[in-house]
Amino acid sequence: MKNVDVKTVCGFGDEWERFDQSSLPPEEHRRIFEMYFAIFPWGSLPPNAVGFDLGCGSGRWAKLVAPRVGHLHCIDPSVALEVAKRNLVDNNNCEFHLTSVDSIPLPDASMDFGYSLGVLHHVPDTQSAIVSCVNKLKPGAPFLVYLYYAFDNRPMWFRAIWKLSDILRYVISRLPYGLRYWVSQIIAGVVYYPLAKLALWLEKVGIDVKNVPLSPYRNCSFYTMRTDALDRFGTRLEQRFTRKQIKKMMERAGLERIEFAPNLPYWSAVGYRASMDGVTR
């Protein structure tokens, strides 16, 4: 496994064992899923489509994708794969692979679809990772990807606040697992929750909360805030990209007809494999 940061992978294994999503309210689970998959072309998939979930983690997305497809390959390099197996025990069309993005054990040009959400910005070479995923797709097959955005659609003061938080992330993510967990939970309680509820109140009185930090969590459970606080501050390797950079990486990987979701989460995009010859190798 070359395109992998081992300490980051271990951190995610710890995260998904602590937050296996069993306490996530079903209606919230489905609402978040629909946000991420809003632009996914379900109608274009063939009957009994076969595809992959790259970086499946706890299997939270696979749990809602599996009933819609014929076969789903769940791929993850961490011990979170065992969590996914438990969460997907009732889905007999799921197959599990403990491996990294540069060692996907599937034949090239064999998949009807693929997706990777919130994963490929945590590997050393994101461009190479996208290429690895696209290589597994049949020509014309869709690939859905979500990468952390570089706040390219936010004001300067918003980006400055993020810069400060990223300094905290750098320090916290290098603490021992137990300590980083508890620090992240304190952040969830004293930062995430108050700001999210403030945004909810401001919205109710008619104020636009688009640029209020953490406003996307205003309708989320505290469980989600706790999960994401650990995800945000407990992860050692994190990269961020502008919309233009993401489009360029997708095109270089051999994807065409690229479409970006107009709303949160930023940036989520879908593209279709152009041809066998169009992929950068």
Across the range 266-280, mean pLDDT stands at 79
Whole-model pTM: value is 0.93
Whether residue 279 is predicted with pLDDT greater than 60 in this model: the reply is no
**CA 28 vs CA 60, 143, 256, 257: distances in Å:** 12, 24, 32, 30
State the pLDDT at residue 144: 98
Whether residue 278 is predicted with pLDDT greater than 60 in this model: the reply is no
What is the residue-wise DSSP string for the chain? --S--HHHHHHHHHHHHH--STTS-HHHHHHHHHHHTTT--GGGSPTT-EEEEET-TTSTTHHHHGGGSSEEEEEESSTHHHHHHHHTTT-TTEEEEE--GGG--S-TT-BSEEEEES-GGGSS-HHHHHHHHHHTBPTT-EEEEE--B-STTS-HHHHHHHHHHHHHHHHHTTS-HHHHHHHHHHHIIIIIHHHHHHHHHHHHTT---TTSTTGGGTTS-HHHHHHHHHHHHS-S----B-HHHHHHHHHHTTEEEEEE-SSSSTTEEEEEE--GGGS--
Query: Over the stretch 218-245, which tens digit does the pLDDT of each residue have?
Result: 999 999 999 999 999 999 999 999 999 9
Across the range 273-280, mean pLDDT stands at 64
State the pLDDT at residue 5: 86
Query: Over the stretch 160-178, which tens digit does the pLDDT of each residue have?
Result: 999 999 999 999 999 999 9
* Banded pLDDT at 275 (limits 50, 70, 90): confident
| Omega cis (within 30) before 157 | no
Whether residue 34 is predicted with pLDDT greater than 90 in this model: the reply is yes
Whether residue 276 is predicted with pLDDT greater than 70 in this model: the reply is no
State the pLDDT at residue 277: 54
Query: Is the four-CA dihedral 259, 239, 103, 94 of positive or negative sign?
Result: negative
Question: Domain 6-150+240-278 falls in which CATH fold?
Answer: Rossmann fold (3.40.50)
* Banded pLDDT at 281 (limits 50, 70, 90): very low
Whether residue 77 is predicted with pLDDT greater than 90 in this model: the reply is yes
Strands 94-98 and 71-76: parallel
State the pLDDT at residue 2: 84
Whether residue 53 is predicted with pLDDT greater than 50 in this model: the reply is yes
Query: Over the stretch 55-65, which tens digit does the pLDDT of each residue have?
Result: 999 999 999 99
* Banded pLDDT at 212 (limits 50, 70, 90): very high
Q: What percent of the chain has pLDDT over 90?
A: 94
Please, what is the average pLDDT of the chain? 95
Query: Over the stretch 104-126, which tens digit does the pLDDT of each residue have?
Result: 999 999 999 999 999 999 999 99
Where along the chain do its domains lie? 6-150+240-278, 156-233
